[in-house]
Amino acid sequence: MDDRWRFSRRQFLKTMAATGAITASELLWWEEPFLWPKKAHAATTVRFQFSVPEPLRISLVESLVDRFNKSQSDVEVKVEFVPQAQARQKLITAITAKNPPDCCQIWDNWVGEFDGMNVVEDLTARIKDWKHYKDTVPVAWQTVTVKEKILSFPWAVTNDAIFIRVDRAKEYGLKIPGPDWTWDDFVTLAKGYAKPEKNQYGFGMRGAGTWAVLYATEFLYGNGTQVLKDGKVAINSPEAVSAFEWYIDLIRKHKVTPPSVATDGYRQIVEGFGRGVTSMYLHNSGSVEEQKKFVGEPNFATLPLPLGPAKKRATFYFSETLTMFKDAKNKEGAWKFFTWLMDDEPHYHYCKTLGLLPTRQALADQPPYTGPHYSGFVKSFPFSVVSPYLAYAGWGGKLDSEGVPLFQQAMVGKISSKECLDKFAEVLTKNMM
Amino acid sequence: MNQQATIAVPAPRALLSRGMRETLANYAYLLPVAICLGGTVLFPILKAMHMSLYHNVLIRPQDYRFIGLGNYVRMVEDPTFWLTLKNSFIWVFFSVSLQFLFGFAAALLLNAPFKGRAFFRTINLLPWIIPGVVVALVWEYLYQPNYGPINDILRRVGLMREPVAWLSNVDLAMPAVIFTNIWRGIPFFAIMILAGLQAIPDDIYEAATVDGASVTQRFWHVTLPMLRPIIVVATATRIIWTFNYADLIFVMTSGGPANATQITSTYTLLQAYTDLDFGYAATLSVILLVIMLVFTALYLKLTKGVESVAG
């Protein structure tokens, strides 16, 4: 026999010891096997679609899915990343073709649309028995409740607040207002910040994308506006028109916004602030971590939206949801995956990395959510409401395709604030379905 | 010797004549191509026509129903459609005519002998080689009013005091996207016309010179007529492409601000992928197809097709 194949007693004992050590380490890591996941032959697959607005999320979700897969012997999640711009359309075509993924991550404003198509699994019974049900912020449940059915897990929640440059305020001798500031304070501050000759502007208003309409509406609420009143569209009420005139005046009269305002989307308002072009902007907590890198932690803070003439204000909650489809082939696997993601550590890790607010109260009471960069959002909780545009599934796409061009026309002065809101009200009324 | 007479038995008559068999065989050879074309071109067109007759909004599958010409009536009454059609004609006219003029000039320059000609011919192709989406992103950055290089340069040389929002101003957005499209399309015309110029025999120019024709006369009476077939094909193709071309505008402005750059093809995309109204989007596609068919027929008739003047 070839010497190479001889196995001495010493070698045999060493091999046995090594095998024992590896087995022991595997047992220590029993929740997440150290070397490889031990999948049963019949491990069932869960198809999970994740829409990606930014590359950071890919590695984050991949690591979470990988950890989940390693912790399970009978379920394996396969994640399908789809660019956010195509996610809604891809899901809807997959649903129409009767081949949706088992579950997905989507925004709450799509949940209503999908429920309108009668394709979302009702999770009410399961969720009410879930161990963290009572620890979840009630308003988070509201964002995913349609016709008294809980349709999704609110994975992360956020509202909007004003990002503000603290260092520049000091440089220009401007006083940073308190959380109960007013529209007048806002205009004064924006004017103080505006130095067009230095390519600096007071407020990075959003003019493109659905949120151009939503942010404007949040300001409108400061004057007592409501989108729906007694079941009728009221977005063109006198108080709404007056508030919208004030909002448009920021561009046309006070000139505190950058010249590109009418086409500035998410990326432009975030980068505008990050590059020092603007000194204030309205956004959700999702850009806090980014701004820490762009402008530096000590140089900015967040404030709640200012109080309007009616001494009111509102910010819209929205949540990133985990949603399951009625046609899911592996509902049990998807449920297992959801509850794992909502557990303390994965949930906190996901939200903290992305700067979103956890929906579990116990986690929201921990840093960094208690610090200055999130204070604007946390202090906005008492007047945060679910977006009124979630009321009708038919409004979903129309905000973008008809609402945004109308608001842009008002921004560039092609139509008056009243004409804009009248036409917008017509669009909403026509699509109340 | 016993002899048996054999009677010639006529061969059974073929079911089809020889000519017919040959014709059928020829058609059989064409069949694979016909199936491929039918599946990839004809079927989608017919399917779009079929879809245009239905109320087909993906988020409301319960409302799916036949509505006849309902979508067409809606289109006629839709002011945004007419605006996008007007924008489409502006977009196509200025894009193609200026691409053609500058492309022609570039071709004449690149046809002349000079040192480094091969290098410049290669460089000339760059805008055409770069993918449309990348071109759009690059130009969006160049036009950016707050930190884009165009505004920065214009301000430094004193031609501008305040930054201009090229893509956010309703009056400037369309010219700005057209300018980008011209930049991108010049190489196409340059290379097509250059190929045509190189195919014109030198002896025609020599004969014209001997006859006393000036440079201008040689251009009008030799170069242009000889290039006519190429010009007709290149412009017709380019017009159709530009009419249907949505990438550039979609990335640079998404049709905004306030629909200032919304052309019919981007509006069709918006209807299909934002409103998920596939019935209406199909109607817009069918109308785009009809417009292009009518245009091509008229254009070829007016320009007398692609026949060479020498023919």
Dihedral class, residue B8 (left if φ above 0, else alpha if ψ from -120 to 50, else beta): beta
Question: Where does the pLDDT of residue A23 fall: very low under 50, low under 70, confident under 90, or very high at 90 and above?
Answer: low
What lies within 8 Å, CB to CB, of A379 at 6+ separation is A161, A179, A303, A304
Q: Provide the greatest CA pair distance for chain B.
A: 123
What DSSP character marks residue B38? I
What lies within 8 Å, CB to CB, of A233 at 6+ separation is A227, A425, A428, A429, A432
Instruction: Give B161→chain A minimum CA distance, Å.
Output: 8
Separation CA A40–CA A33 (nearest Å)? 14
Interface of A with B (CB under 8 A): 86, 89, 92-93, 96, 113-114, 116-118, 196, 199, 207-208, 258-264, 272, 275, 277, 393-394, 396-398, 400-401, 404-406, 408-409, 411-412, 414, 433
Q: Nearest Cβ partner of A277 from B147, B168, B259?
A: B147
Nearest-CA residue of chain A relative to B155? A197
Nearest-CA residue of chain A relative to B273? A89
Instruction: Give A271→chain B minimum CA distance, Å.
Output: 10
CA distances from B180 to B103, B132, B146, B249 (A): 14, 10, 19, 10
Asked whether this complex has an ipTM greater than 0.90, the answer is: no
Considering only A53-62, A190-199, B261-270, which range has the smallest mean pLDDT? A53-62
Which amino acid, A273?
A: F
At A28 the pLDDT is 53
At B69 the pLDDT is 95
**Contact criterion met (CB below 8 Å) for B191 and B109:** no
* Interchain pair B168, A393: CB under 8 A: no
What DSSP character marks residue A307? B
Q: Nearest Cβ partner of A260 from B62, B80, B168?
A: B168
Instruction: Look up tokens 């009708």; give the residue.
Output: A392
Helix (H, G, I), strand (E, B) or coil at A150: strand
Q: Whole-model pTM?
A: 0.77
Domain A160-316+379-430: CATH class, spelled out: alpha beta
pLDDT at A123 > cutoff 50: yes
At B311 the pLDDT is 38
CA distances from A90 to A153, A398, B195 (A): 21, 18, 43
Same fold, A44-159+318-373 and A160-316+379-430: yes
Q: Nearest Cβ partner of B256 from A262, A277, A396?
A: A262
Per residue in A256-293, pLDDT (tens digit) is 999 999 989 988 999 999 999 999 999 998 889 889 99
CA A156 to chain centre: 7
Average pLDDT over residues A176-192: 95
Nearest-CA residue of chain B relative to A261? B168
Which amino acid, A429?
A: T
Mutate to test the interface with B, among A263, A269, A395, A399 (most CBs of B within 10 A): A263
**How many Cβ pairs closer than 8 A exist between chain A and B?**
107
* Interchain pair A258, B167: CB under 8 A: no
Domain B78-302: CATH class, spelled out: mainly alpha
Residue from A381, A379, A357 nearest A369 by CA: A357
Separation CA A157–CA A349 (nearest Å)? 14
Mutate to test the interface with B, among A395, A401, A423 (most CBs of B within 10 A): A401
Q: Any idea where the domains of chain A sit in the sequence?
A: 44-159+318-373, 160-316+379-430
* Interchain pair A408, B257: CB under 8 A: yes
B59: chain A residues, CB-CB within 8 Å: 92, 113-114, 116-117, 393-394, 396-397
Instruction: Look up tokens 């199936």; give the residue.
Output: B35
Average pLDDT, chain A: 88
What DSSP character marks residue A315? E
At A407 the pLDDT is 95
Ordered per-residue pLDDT tens for chain B, 311 residues: 556 677 777 777 777 888 888 999 999 999 999 999 999 999 999 999 999 999 998 877 788 999 999 999 999 999 999 999 999 999 999 999 999 999 999 999 999 888 888 899 888 889 999 999 999 999 999 998 878 899 989 988 988 888 888 998 899 999 999 999 999 999 999 999 999 999 999 899 899 999 888 989 999 999 999 998 899 989 999 999 999 888 999 999 989 898 999 999 999 999 998 888 999 999 999 999 999 999 988 888 887 765 554 43
Question: Where does the pLDDT of residue A118 fall: very low under 50, low under 70, confident under 90, or very high at 90 and above?
Answer: confident
Q: Nearest Cβ partner of B61 from A96, A262, A412?
A: A96
* Interchain pair B256, A263: CB under 8 A: yes
Instruction: Give A268→chain B minimum CA distance, Å.
Output: 10
Which amino acid, B280?
A: Y
Which numeric CATH code is attached to A44-159+318-373?
Answer: 3.40.190.10
Q: Any idea where the domains of chain B sit in the sequence?
A: 18-65, 78-302
Instruction: Give A407→chain B minimum CA distance, Å.
Output: 8
CA A414 to chain centre: 32
